[in-house]
Amino acid sequence: MNDPYYWGKRYVGAKRVLAYRLQPGRFQDIPSSYWAYDEIRTLSEDGLILGYENSYFKPNEPITRAEVASYLGEYLQLDLSNRSAIFRDVPLEHWAVGAVNAMQKKGYITGSGGSFRPEETLTRAQLAAILTRVFDLKQPAVDQSFTDVSPSFWAYKDIQALAASGITTGYEDGTFRPEDTVTRAQFAVFLYRAAHE
């Protein structure tokens, strides 16, 4: 708890863990009727995702690249001790530097031009690419047709692998919406399905 590099921005998160040990997985803004209730509750009870103060999860908040690296690094039980500055925008004092470095070392995440952009939100296409690498998802025998994802799209194969695994089915209108921002609830569902497939 006295490590300022690790706990600097995460201290609120540390307090959250202690605050809801009596009722793990319960959030004021996630009723039992919520579409992602089971996935969020299970991951929270397993200690894989955190909420906010006063037992809020904020399911519709966008998730950042640093948060995804952190959650996946914890899930994969990677060695998070490397605090060197691999990316120029993830300095050694950044709260997620260990997770970002560990994920980069494994080849699960990449940057661009020496930057990682840790506070940027993640798109559905970017998450598809990361999950395909992390879980070694395979290409389907027959591609699923999404009206807004052409075979020339940079993440086409990743999206196809994600769909073939059952982690996503896309939307009812036949779209995948690859440029849409991933919410905290969506990420929880994707991670849960990937981990339990």
pLDDT digits (tens, 9 = 90+) for 50-73: 888 888 999 999 999 999 999 999
Q: Region 88-95: what's the mean pLDDT?
A: 94
**Confidence at residue 10, expressed as pLDDT on a 0 to 100 scale:** 46
Better-scored residue on pLDDT, 95 or 197: 95
As a 3-state breakdown, the chain gives helix, strand, coil percent values, each rounded to 5, of 40, 5, 55
**Confidence at residue 26, expressed as pLDDT on a 0 to 100 scale:** 86
**Confidence at residue 11, expressed as pLDDT on a 0 to 100 scale:** 40
Report which DSSP code applies to 48: S
Over 50: is that where the pLDDT of 5 sits? no
Distance CA 67, CA 65 (A): 5
Q: How confident is the model at residue 24 (pLDDT cuts 50, 70, 90)?
A: low
**Confidence at residue 25, expressed as pLDDT on a 0 to 100 scale:** 73
Torsion of CA 1, 107, 110, 197, to 10 degrees: -80
Report which DSSP code applies to 64: B
Amino acid at 42: T
Q: 154-194, pLDDT tens digit by residue? A: 999 999 999 999 998 899 999 999 999 999 999 999 999 99
- All structural domains of the chain with their residue ranges: 1-62, 64-120, 123-180
Better-scored residue on pLDDT, 159 or 2: 159
Better-scored residue on pLDDT, 148 or 53: 148
Share of the chain above pLDDT 70, in %: 88
